[in-house]
Amino acid sequence: MKASLKGKTIVLTGGGGGIGRAAAQALAKEGARIALCGGNNIEKLEKTACLVKDCGAEVFVLPGDLTDFNFLENCIEKIASHFGQIDILINNAGIALNKPFEETTQADFDRIFSINVRAPFILCQKVLPYLRKSNHAAIINIASVVGHKGYVNQAAYAASKHALIGFTKTLANEVYTQNIRVHIISPGGVYTDMVKVVRPDLKEEGMILPEEIADIILFLLQSRGNAVIDEICVHRVGKQPFDV
Ligand code: NAD
């Protein structure tokens, strides 16, 4: 049986991007209240907010840079005071980098880690007090198949997604008995702005659609029975099974 998301408050990072926008719409259609947390492209965030409203759902837009410590310190509290509660956090924002190992600079490394690892780490810490009060508490961290395998020219990105998966596994175990479910989704190539930059060799045809990842997010959040799913790995149709 599907658990209802009606009235649940969901904090979503990267809501202006490909997967984030599709997820926001899918969750809004189920009656969830959406906080679009972080993002410097206000136009893209506002566009997602309009689409959420079109679905008849409540939305709160909180633009900001996830590398900014002040923003990370305060955003969860601001969302909680706006909606009065938080049930679910989806750490979706991320950046990628297509550079040979030796050319990757310290600045590249620090930036990718601050967005892909530090921000979700801190947001998880900040949100836990609120999730403990919810009867539908969940965290979804969007990792990548790159978090399972070493792709050429993606050392910093791969390291960041391995790190994200690493802390998520620990967190999942630490809060499991508190009825907080923690999931990882590790997608392969999804047709968004990010993949067009990182993997220009991939053709649109055969790529995963953002809406397909949104459906998986929905499935995870609506599954509150005795079958608990920790991680879902998703590969493109053109890849061999189990070869992420
Ligand atoms: P996208 O580029 O369309 O969206 C990324 C989002 O992250 C954007 O909304 C952007 O504003 C936000 N973001 C980036 N830096 C930020 C910062 N400093 N502060 C606030 N927000 C920031 O890409 P996408 O494909 O939708 O990616 C979403 C997630 O999926 C990422 O974590 C990505 O690593 C992961 N992923 C993507 C693919 C793929 O092929 N597209 C595959 C596996 C995993």
Domain assignments of the chain as residue spans, ordered by start = 9-233
Identity at 145, one-letter amino acid code: V
Sheet of strand 33-37, all strands in order from the earlier edge strand to the far edge: 59-62, 33-37, 9-13, 88-91, 138-142, 181-187, 231-234
Q: What share of the chain has pLDDT > 70, as a percent? A: 100
Identify the residue whose tokens are 């998966």: 165
The pLDDT score that the predictor gives to residue 196 is 87
Residue 199: CB partners within 8 Å, gap ≥ 6? 98, 189
Q: What share of the chain has pLDDT > 90, as a percent? A: 95
The alpha carbon of residue 46 and the mean position of all alpha carbons in its chain are separated, in whole angstroms, by 18
The pLDDT score that the predictor gives to residue 244 is 75
pLDDT digits (tens, 9 = 90+) for 27-69: 999 999 999 999 989 999 999 999 999 999 999 999 999 999 9
Q: Is residue 34 within a helix (H) or strand (E), and if so which, with residue range?
A: strand 33-37
pLDDT digits (tens, 9 = 90+) for 64-115: 999 999 999 999 999 999 999 999 999 999 999 999 999 999 999 999 999 9
pLDDT of 154 over the 90 cut:
yes
Closest atom of ligand 1 to CA, residue 38 = 20
pLDDT band for position 1 (cuts 50, 70, 90): confident
The residue contributing the CA closest to ligand 1 atom 22 is: 39
Pocket of ligand 1 (CB under 6 A): 14, 16-20, 38-39, 41, 65-67, 92-96, 115, 142, 144, 187, 189-190, 192-195
The yes/no answer on whether domain 9-233 falls in CATH 3.40.50.720 is yes
pLDDT band for position 201 (cuts 50, 70, 90): confident
Lowest mean pLDDT among 173-182, 185-194, 196-205, 226-235: 196-205
Identity at 101, one-letter amino acid code: F
> Active site includes 151?
no
DSSP string, 134-203: -SS-EEEEE--GGGTS--TTBHHHHHHHHHHHHHHHHHHHHHGGGT-EEEEEEE--BSSHHHHHH-TTS-
Q: Average pLDDT of the chain?
A: 97
- Contact between 224 and 91 under an 8 Å Cβ cutoff? The reply is no
Among 192, 193, 198, which is best to mutate for testing ligand 1, by the most ligand atoms less than 8 A from CB?
192
Q: What is the mean pLDDT of residues 162-185?
A: 98
- Contact between 40 and 63 under an 8 Å Cβ cutoff? The reply is yes
Q: What is the mean pLDDT of residues 135-152?
A: 97
The pLDDT score that the predictor gives to residue 103 is 98
CA nearest to 166, candidates 177, 188, 182, 190: 182
Catalytic one of 130, 151, 157, 191:
157
pLDDT band for position 200 (cuts 50, 70, 90): confident
Between 61 and 1, residue with greater pLDDT? 61
The pLDDT score that the predictor gives to residue 198 is 84
Distance from C-alpha of 228 to C-alpha of 44, rounded to nearest angstrom: 34
